[in-house]
Amino acid sequence: MNKLSIFTKGFFKENAVFTLLLGMCPTLGVTSSAINGLGMGLATTFVLIMSNIVVSLVKDSIPDKVRIPAFIVIIASFVTVVELLMQAYLPALFESLGLFIPLIVVNCIVLGRAEAFASKNNVFSSFLDGAGMGLGFAMALTMLGAIREFLGSGKMFDLVIFPEQYGMLVFVLAPGAFIALGYLIAVINKLKKA
Amino acid sequence: MAKTESTLVNMVLTLLIITVVAGASLGMVYKVTKEPIAMAKLAKQQKAIEEVVPGFDNNPTDEMYQLTSKEGYALQVFPCKKGDELLGVAIATKTDKGFSGEIKIMVGLKPDGTIINYSVLEHKETPGLGSKMNDWFRGDNPKQSLINRDPSNTKMIVSKDGGDIDAITAATISSRAFLDAIMIAYTAYKENADAQSAKSTIQKGAKS
């Protein structure tokens, strides 16, 4: 596999949300607006890149039997770093993402990439893999957030497109997340076959 | 480099090293971000106080005192003064009667208890329904607005329950909780003020 395809596979071919259906909890939970989706996606990207780099650096010195707890400690540390930084410098975003930031720890994409990719590949490939997977995840969350925000409240990235009272409230609530995600996956599958 | 064997010593050592390094680096990040986090929280609180009791020139955070409500909540009271005159108090109040979880509100009261303004600090109510409370109770409709209302001569419950305030359409529970939080602040403040004035009358009486 060449370096470019390691990076690009996360966007389409192995997109975490649309193809692997991983990380559904933050996907459905935080995407009530495009900016929330983007924020969550970028936070996850940071954790993915950093944990992939560190895991691939230390992979040889970690005994096999304790590799999962070791990975989790590494991931959890970076998540806490993100949480503290966000709380300090982006308090508004932190408030709307709230509970979901600590939950990045248990996002299966992060542990999945550490286990499946970073523990077997060198640092540079792991970095590319983390960046590709993370940005693909961020892209998916932003798309979903933008669609839900547009249909639900008539806005996109807080820009008013049509008055809020004509919005379909259900798209801002949880059921709308499932509906929007379902249609989005259907469209992506169709495109993939074409 | 060869893969480390999974012997007990190796496993314990690896985990120990990883956790120590992780702990140390987190401690460092915590130290660096501690100040900005506190600043951000303070700025938010300050903004809310300015919104609910405008025009003060003291530092309400320095003069903050606490009141305990009947429900056992510790309410923070921020006295807002211009010169020596007390413009009003901003009270950080909360309730757990919301549709989903706690609602935290900053409410501004004039010294006599009239509501100046309010600002919702934190809530988890349904978006598009209960979340409208940030605007609803300031609306033009006199049956909706809480601004300049004196709770002592208003029935501060929703009209469905026989009160004077119209609830948010399709969000009666959130509206009840909202009014509950306001009343918790009002009652605690009023009781404290009454107790204070009773005390000072007694003191005056003793002097004369």
DSSP assigned state of B98: S
pLDDT band per the 50, 70, 90 thresholds, residue B203: low
Q: What is the mean pLDDT of residues A146-157?
A: 84
Q: What is the mean pLDDT of chain A?
A: 86
Is A151 in CB contact (< 8 Å) with chain B?
no
Determine how many CB atoms are found less than 10 A away from the CB of residue A158.
10
The domain in which residue A132 lies consists of: 3-145
Quote helix, strand, coil % in chain A, to nearest 5. Answer: 75, 0, 20
Residue A166 inside a domain? The answer is no
Residue A137 inside a domain? The answer is yes
The answer for residues whose C-beta is within 8 angstroms of residue B166's C-beta and 6 or more apart is: B141, B143, B144, B158, B159
| Cross-chain residue pair A153–B29, CB shorter than 8 Å | no
Which residues from chain B sit within 8 angstroms of residue A96, using beta carbons? none
| Cross-chain residue pair B18–A73, CB shorter than 8 Å | yes
Residue A29 inside a domain? The answer is yes
For the stretch A5-54, pLDDT in tens is 888 888 878 888 888 888 888 888 888 888 888 988 999 999 999 999 99
**Looking at this predicted complex, what is its ipTM?**
0.75
Residue A176 inside a domain? The answer is no
pLDDT at B205: 58
pLDDT at B202: 67
Is A68 in CB contact (< 8 Å) with chain B?
no
Give φ, ψ of A61 to 5 degrees.
-95, 0
Q: Are A184 and A143 in contact (CB under 8 A)?
A: yes
Q: Are B78 and B91 in contact (CB under 8 A)?
A: yes
The Cα angle at residue B32 between residues A30 and A81, in degrees rounded to 5:
35
Q: Are A130 and A51 in contact (CB under 8 A)?
A: yes
pTM metric for this prediction: 0.76
Residue A159 inside a domain? The answer is no
Instruction: Outline where B133-171 has alpha helix (H).
Output: 133-136
Cα distance between residue B78 and residue B60, in whole Å: 5
Number of folded domains that form chain A = 1
For the stretch B49-87, pLDDT in tens is 888 888 788 887 777 888 887 777 888 888 888 877 888
pLDDT band per the 50, 70, 90 thresholds, residue A183: very high
pLDDT over threshold 60, residue B206 = no
pLDDT over threshold 80, residue B208 = no
Q: What is the mean pLDDT of residues B39-44?
A: 86
